[in-house]
A and B are shown apart, each in its own frame.
Chain A
Amino acid sequence: MKWFKSIYSLLSSLSFALFLIAAAVLLVIAGTLLEARTDSHLLAAQWTYHHPIFSVLLGCFFINILCSALRRWPFKLHHIPFLMTHLGLLMILTGTIWKNHFGIQGHLYLLEGSGSSRLMLPHTLALHIEKRGIPNHLLYDQLPLTLGEPLKVQSQQFPELTIRVLRYTPHAKAYFESWMKGQYGWIAGLPPIPMQSWSKDQPLSIACQMHPYPQLNVRWDAAALLTDDIEQALQTAYENQTELIVTVKENPLVSQRFFLNEALQGTVPCLGGTLKTTCRLPCSLVDGLVNPHLELEWTCGQEREYVILPLAGTNALMPQLQSRLGPSKSRFDFDLKRPPLIVLINDSHQECHVAAFDPYGRLDIQTFSPHQWDSLIVYDQGFGGYAIPCHIPFPAYPSSRQDKMLAEQAQLAKQLEQVVDQHTTLAPPVQLFKETCDQAQLPFASLFVEFLALWSRQPHVLMHPSSSASPDLQTVLQKLAWDQIPSVKQGCQWINLLFGQLEDSLRTGSSIKNILKTHRWPLMTHLQTDEEDERHLLQQLAQQLLGLSSHLPPVPERTSLSSEQLFSAYLQAYGLDYHTLLPEQPAEKESFALLQAYHAGRSLDPSLLKSDAIHLETPLSYRHTAALPPKLEDQRPCLLIEVKKGSAKEMVSLTYDPLAAGLKWPVFGEYLLRLQPQWVELPYHVRLRQAKQLNYAESNQPYSYESDVWIQEMDQSPVEASLSMNHVYETWDGFRFYLAGMSSSREGIKQVQLVVNQDPVKYLLTYPGGSLVALGAILLFWLRPYRRK
């Protein structure tokens, strides 16, 4: 009994209380220092607040307060304030201990438009298993895991599965493998392509051939390279076996062919002059291939043509003459021809590039990161695995430069027919042409487009007689009734005379402005001379002359101009030519819609028409590598797991997914696994309607974040609520919802993180306890010692 009294006396003593307070202070200091040193709140909490010592400390506080209160027995009236404070403290301590063990605190992750009642418990570990049930809904189970213990767990929901943890790594990095896995390139449906370690000046070796279009016997070469010099690898792959064909526009039978790698060596003789070729395939890690093109410089004496041949984009394969006369006024056609090729290129950062070269010289490259993907194929909701797609926009049907031009012309003719059908008022030159066609009973639209196309291909500002013109076109041109519009004819004649002189000067590099100034053109002030595009100046000049045609003198008698020249001058005055009438094409990507429509009209093989792009896939897999553990909060443990079902066995390694938002990995084609936090089901379902960032007026600086939600208790009607930084929603049973974070997906859909907690005894113990402590303290100071006796 004596010893009991001694212990009781100790437990209720002030010294014990001071000792406990000192111990608590030291623990808190240790936690603070640990957190400051390691920058890890979780580690500090593990060694302080969440450590069993802290629970023991709380228990000792409880005992000390209880014993010191009971020492006052038997209780008298003046003990009331003292007992109130002590009772309040006991209630607070009990509430704290109760909340630690039975309270809930977790995170709810919501995407705009969807909802959840699944609360993720942070810093916990569980193996989440899904199986497809009947009818087509998912069955779930989660197996909480505690690392460090021998782990063989049995799923209650899926008793047929036995799971063993074979290996644990505290922290691992996950890399996704797409087109290159190990030493091979992988394209679904093909055998593995051996990877070639490549460096500059090494030749490219073709690994295999493939049929990229289903059901078509069209062969492409394939290769796989390992190199960091992507640009050089692309250049070598492109130059290899590509032929450059240069043809004289006015005489297509006259042409010359070069292998590109030979043409790139230096200047080569070409069609009476010399040709210098440069290949530019600029490739950046951020933007990919940027404006790939060939630069072709043909020189003959004083004459010089500088042509850019784009290899991708809207103007792919269409030579762009860098001339004031217009982009298509080169005297040559430039075409490319090569065996089609797909190259997989892996670099040392595990980034994979898929480059494709089509038979006409086009180039496409796409980059795939090991950390994320732009597009993913999910087979059978994930049970069949995942794949990365690559869409190469090269069609199987003919798509050469010439095909593109014919498709454009067909489209233009179709549009003209529609315009005519709608009885739209036509510009006078077009009306003249149409009336002539109608009288000759010849098709207006196709002949007009033929004229425009022939004119655009001539290296002259105005059209010259062309032997390529069809007999029908020649007939129409001869029948144009110039005699009925003599002033127009005169104007057109003067346009031809003027432009003939201007063209010669333009070819030597002079500008129209300077020429007109030198010759004191009388109407300079009426010209908009600040424009760079001199074609517009030419149009203005033509307009001026046509407008003044009735006041102009007759042209010199020796002047002999063909109907083509006159008609092109007439069109020039109205700003009408092939390029101004062409339908608008998308700014960046090449569109094959016109080509497809053109070939469909020619009754091309339907299977060719359907193959408008190459669709490749590669299975998505991943690789985990152990890494030095960062601070505790950022660690991503990795487990190697063996899953057994009957006699079948599969091994899978999984890294921790703290948001439980990543991919689930299939086993046996029947189950999906993910290593993620444990979760509990809330009695509330929360649906996120909209999350928004509110900015200060006229600024992008945020002043608040808000999310509008529906919160529904089971079997009740949903309630609208708005959560923001300082606005918490609390349910009747103590569940509190806080808006903790907001982020945006690539498409701009917002994802929010809500923190949900529930203190089950907050209103029963903690708050009443606090009130008692406050009231008791007030009474203590009110009654004693300040009251005079």
Chain B
Amino acid sequence: MKLHLIISLLLLASCQNQTPPLARNWQTILSRDEGIPSQRIPLYRAKVPNSWQRKDPLATESLVDTRLPICEFLIQGGEETIRITVHSFTYPDQNSRIPPSAQLHRWQRQFDKLDPAEVSISPISQGGFYGLKINAQGFINQKLIALKGWGMQLASDYYRLLSGEDSFINRQKKSDYTIKASGPAALMHQHGRDIDAFASSFELIEELPSPL
């Protein structure tokens, strides 16, 4: 009996320890502005690993141009870097919104060579937003690059409720958002779970009004 106990303890002790998860903390991300940079307000939050480098746009630079990201993160891996960009898109009305599939399609066209077997697209919903998530791997400038992307839109019920009052914050809350992470395939594979966790934690700071 005692021998069994000792052997069990030894076996447990010899188990390989799991890699501890990266330390993460909640960070806020500002919204876009409508021409005046000082308009920007804390709109989103996400759990970001401490090791990621954050790059914010200049406080004096207007972010009306949706080609500019509202926030950027860099993951360094030796001489290689993964770039994670967050964009938001405001539209005058619900029918003008570009579907998430169009965003994903645009990202796929950025590859020089992309095997459809290396592309995986799945629906996803979180925080009142729904959309599509893409994992892809292909060649850009003859380098094997991996991509993780999320194209998200606010659900119609929430859009309707926020449209009841036309204010800057409501317009920003109604924005679609995208998260795109791309970098060398091996490095992306190494940090894939952290990137997924970051995107999964991404949400509006303020709660959405319940349609129920």
Contact = CB atoms under 8 A, between A and B. Distances in A.
Contacts of B160: 378
A690 B130 contact: no
B208 A114 contact: yes
Interface residues of A, number: 24
A144 interface: no
Interface string A192-233: 000000000000000000000000000000000000000000
Given A111-B128, A689-B126, A690-B200, A747 B211 contact: no
B207 A749 contact: no
Given A115-B210, A116-B210, A748 B130 contact: yes
Contacts of B209: 114
A378 B160 CA distance: 9
Task: Identify whether the interface residues of A are mostly helix, strand, loop, or mixed.
Answer: strand
A687 B207 contact: yes
B21 interface: no
Contact of B128 (A114, A116, A381, A660): A114
B57 interface: no
A750 interface: yes
A690 B210 contact: no
B207 to A, nearest CB: 5
B156 interface: yes
A665 interface: no
Interface in A524-564: none
A690 B125 contact: yes
Interface string A680-722: 0000000101110000000000000000000000000000000
Interface in A653-672: 659-661
A413 B137 CA distance: 38
Interface in B156-193: 156-158, 160, 164-165
A749 B212 contact: no
Interface in A632-660: 659-660
A141 interface: no
Contacts of B208: 113-114
Contact of B207 (A113, A659, A748, A750): A113
A607 to B, nearest CB: 20
A745 B127 contact: no
B210 A749 contact: no
A749 B164 CA distance: 21
Nearest to A659: B212
A114 B207 contact: yes
A417 to B, nearest CB: 24
A749 B128 contact: yes
A239 interface: no
B123 interface: yes
A663 B35 CA distance: 39
B55 to A, nearest CB: 26
B64 interface: no
A35 interface: no
A225 B155 CA distance: 36
A747 B127 contact: no
Contacts of B34: none
A109 B212 CA distance: 8
A116 B212 contact: yes
Nearest to B155: A749
A748 to B, nearest CB: 5
B150 interface: no
Interface in A722-779: 744-745, 747-750
A112 interface: yes
B111 interface: no
Given A690-B200, A745-B155, A111 B127 contact: no
B123 A113 contact: no
B156 A690 contact: no
B204 interface: yes
B203 interface: yes
A750 B125 contact: yes
A381 B164 contact: yes
A114 B123 CA distance: 20
Given A690-B127, A747-B155, A748-B123, A111 B211 contact: yes
Contacts of B165: 136
Given A113-B204, A690-B200, A748 B210 contact: no
Contacts of A381: 164
B105 to A, nearest CB: 13
Interface in A103-148: 109-116, 136
Contact of A690 (B126, B158, B207): B126
A3 B156 CA distance: 74
A659 B212 CA distance: 9
B194 to A, nearest CB: 17
A610 to B, nearest CB: 15
Please indicate which of the listed interface residues B127, B129, B200, B211 has the most CB atoms of chain A within 10 Å of its own CB. B127
B164 A112 contact: no
A113 B212 contact: no
Nearest to B201: A689
A112 B126 contact: yes
Contacts of A115: 207, 210
Contacts of B164: 381
A765 to B, nearest CB: 35
Contact of B125 (A110, A112, A114, A136): A112
Nearest to B154: A113
B143 to A, nearest CB: 28
A701 to B, nearest CB: 16
B115 to A, nearest CB: 19
Nearest to A115: B207
Closest 4 pairs between A and B when the two form their complex, measured CB to CB: A113-B128, A690-B126, A114-B210, A113-B208
11 contacts: A110-B212, A112-B126, A113-B208, A114-B208, A114-B209, A115-B210, A689-B127, A690-B126, A744-B125, A747-B125, A749-B157
Interface of A: 109-116, 136, 378, 381, 659-661, 687, 689-691, 744-745, 747-750
Given A114-B207, A690-B126, 11 more contacts: A110-B212, A111-B128, A111-B210, A112-B126, A114-B209, A136-B165, A381-B164, A745-B155, A747-B155, A748-B124, A749-B130
